[in-house]
Amino acid sequence: MSFRREAHVPLGGPDGGDGGRGGDVVLICDDSLRDLQFFRRTAHFRAVKGGNGEGGLRHGANGGDLEIRVPPGTIAELEDGTRHDLVAPGQRAMVARGGGGARGNKHFANATRQAPRFAERGLPGDEGWIELHLKLLADVGLVGLPNAGKSSLLARITAARPKIAGYPFTTLTPVLGTIESDDRQLVIADIPGLIEGASDGAGLGHDFLAHVERTRLLVHVLDLAPIDGSEPVENHATIEHELAAHDPRLAALPRILALSKRDLVTPEVAEEAMAFWRERLGDDVPILLTSSATGEGLDELRRALLQFVPLTPPVELPDTEGLAEHRVFRPAADRGFKVEQLEDGRFRVIGRGVDRLVMRYDVENEEAMAFLERRLKSIGVIRALEEAGFEAGDDVLIGGVEFELDPT
């Protein structure tokens, strides 16, 4: 509330500026993220509040929005039941609305009220807890025969802790881990050991192969010294055949060949294997010698994954056709109000809209109360009170504020 008072300006009038609205809290789907670990360290977020209005019709600045980045596949559930399903990069979901800005006394001047001595109050923004769920999709799939060393490899390059033992089929369900750099994260899936005939359903073939359908790159882990005496060339061909038979798209995915268990063979054997596979696969497939026991080649593997995994998923990903870009599930809102008479003769009006209306005005200010009573009459609250037995001068409770209401 402000009035212009200057020399030689006898009729300055009200000049209170408006207050700015508070900032919103917005979730943004960011394809460079892969997990929700950030929210284990930070749980509370607050957008910037709006600026106060000032005299001279100076309006307060609107508060800045707070943008929180989450990985694709995140589902945000609000306390009121609203659910936001973020599935594609760049999508935005407002999960907390900033408080409404208030009007200065200049807005309430008219022919009969030329010097209003009241202004509105700003409204508080939304506040509450949000529950985040993530349907994690892997960027990289580790494939290979049972006991090829995939679980050991995953445990060394990520924080995942898969079961590791010296017998085949140690891993019975896919295990996920993440690696990250300064600007992106990757999810790596240890796919349980495939066997010959997996594409036809042998073992749990279809269940296992389904986990690599949406990966962007495959790391074929090939044992340099198989404990069963099998030939690495035949083992490699078996896995590649099963992948192609399950889905031709998998045959076209980028590959990295990780020759595992380097510590179990001599340097000469390792170099001969590198030369053989380079000649067999060509320059399009990076080949790395790795050892989970000694850590050899693991740093190179991390760098290769960050380098060769595409930043965006292939357009032909299955099961995404017709998928809504951003789905919001919101329960129906109740915008009305109801009146009830309390045992001690007071009346209570219940409704979100009237609660917010009363919050805007100072009930100790007579001009503000007169204006509020007219607003309550215009939206039908006074009529509803009278139908419930209200008489002028009775106490009314709205939004936790009790006051004497005399609309006459």
Are 195 and 296 found together in one domain? yes
Q: What is the pLDDT of residue 293?
A: 87
Boundary residue ending a domain (135, 152, 169): 135
Give the CATH number for residue 371.
3.30.300.350
DSSP at 194? P
Report the pLDDT value the prediction gives residue 122, as an integer from 0 to 100: 87
Contact between residue 99 and residue 69 where contact means Cβ atoms under 8 Å apart = no
The answer on 43 and 85 residing in a single domain is yes
The one-letter code for the residue type at 254 is P
Q: Are residues 116 and 196 in the same domain?
A: no
In this structure, are 299 and 168 located in the same domain? Answer: yes
For residue 342 the two structure tokens come to: 């309390």
pLDDT score recorded for residue 335? 55
CA distance 152 to 157: 9
Q: For residue 272, is it within any domain? A: yes
In a shared domain, residues 18 and 117: yes
Q: DSSP string spanning 255-312?
A: EEEEEE-GGGS-HHHHHHHHHHHHHHH-TTS-EEE--TTT-TTHHHHHHHHHHHS-SS
Residue where a domain stops, chosen among 135, 153, 185: 135
- Do the domain assignments include residue 5? yes
> Domain containing 101 — which CATH number?
2.70.210.12
* Residue 178 domain flag: yes
- Report the b/e string of 352-374 with b at 16+ CB within 10 A: eebbebbbbbeeeeebbbebbbe
Residues 243 and 219 in one domain: yes
Q: Determine the Cα–Cα distance for residues 189 and 58; give it in Å rounded to an integer.
A: 57
Residues of the chain with pLDDT under 50: 165-172, 195-206, 314-324
Give the pLDDT score at 198: 41
Of 99, 92, 39, nearest to 67 by C-alpha is 92
Q: How many domains does the chain have?
A: 3
Q: How far apart are CA 189 and CA 320, in angstroms?
A: 20
Q: Is residue 322 part of a domain?
A: no
pLDDT value of position 334: 56
Six token digits for residue 386: 């009278």
Residues 78 and 201 reside in one and the same domain: no
Report the alpha-carbon distance of residue 363 to residue 401 in Å, rounded: 8
400 in a domain, yes or no?
yes
357 and 276, same domain (yes or no): no
- Predicted model pTM: 0.55
Looking at the domain assignment, is residue 4 inside a domain? Answer: yes
Q: What is the CATH number of the domain that holds 263?
A: 3.40.50.300
Instruction: Give the domain-ending residue among 135, 155, 182.
Output: 135
pLDDT value for 173: 57
Residues 229 and 304 in one domain: yes
Structural domain that includes position 250: 140-308
Residue 321 is assigned to a structural domain of this protein: no
Check whether residue 162 and residue 301 sit in a common domain. Answer: yes
Q: Is residue 145 part of a domain?
A: yes
Instruction: State whether 219 and 161 are in the same domain.
Output: yes
- Do 248 and 233 lie in one domain? The reply is yes
